[in-house]
Amino acid sequence: MKEDHSFITGRLKSFRYAFIGAYKLITTEHSIMTQFSIGILLTIAGFYFGISKTEWLFQTMSIGLVLSIEGLNTAVEKIADFIHPDFHEKIGFIKDIGAGAVFFAAIAALAIGLIIYVPIITAM
């Protein structure tokens, strides 16, 4: 069977796999479900409060960063569980580091959200 090496076909296949992966994350991982829901609520809030273009950029990047880092953390955890299903101190350490990365992204996103929305809400 001849393999298709077309640029367009390859990009479409890559997009398809990325979409499937995003769908799996959103429908199977509770932390992603929570963060995705918060992202939707913040998007609605952005439209409601009429945030500026710059605020939209920061908010969108923050949501994307948290979801991306959480997705990578989930992948690391799945690989670690596959390699060593039983509890192991080193695997736990690796998982903790991944969770720490998500924590940093979430704290940065929280700070950005507070910078955007606290002045809007307190001015009401």
Per-residue pLDDT of the chain (124 residues; tens, 9 = 90+): 566 678 888 888 999 999 999 999 999 999 999 999 999 999 999 999 999 999 999 999 999 999 999 999 999 999 999 999 999 999 999 999 999 999 999 999 999 999 999 999 999 8
Specify whether the CB–CB gap between 73 and 98 falls below 8 A: yes
pTM for the full model?
0.88
Rounded to a whole number of angstroms, the CA Rg of the chain reads: 18
Q: Both tokens of residue 72?
A: 């990578």
Helix, strand or coil for residue 78?
helix
CA angle 34, 37, 42 (to 5 degrees): 125
Residue whose pair of structure tokens reads 């939209």 in the numeric block: 56
What span, in angstroms and rounded, lies between the C-alpha atoms of 7 and 17? Answer: 15
By C-alpha distance, which of 66, 44, 46 is closest to 54? Answer: 46
Sign of CA dihedral 27, 68, 102, 59: negative
What span, in angstroms and rounded, lies between the C-alpha atoms of 12 and 4? Answer: 12
What span, in angstroms and rounded, lies between the C-alpha atoms of 26 and 24? Answer: 6
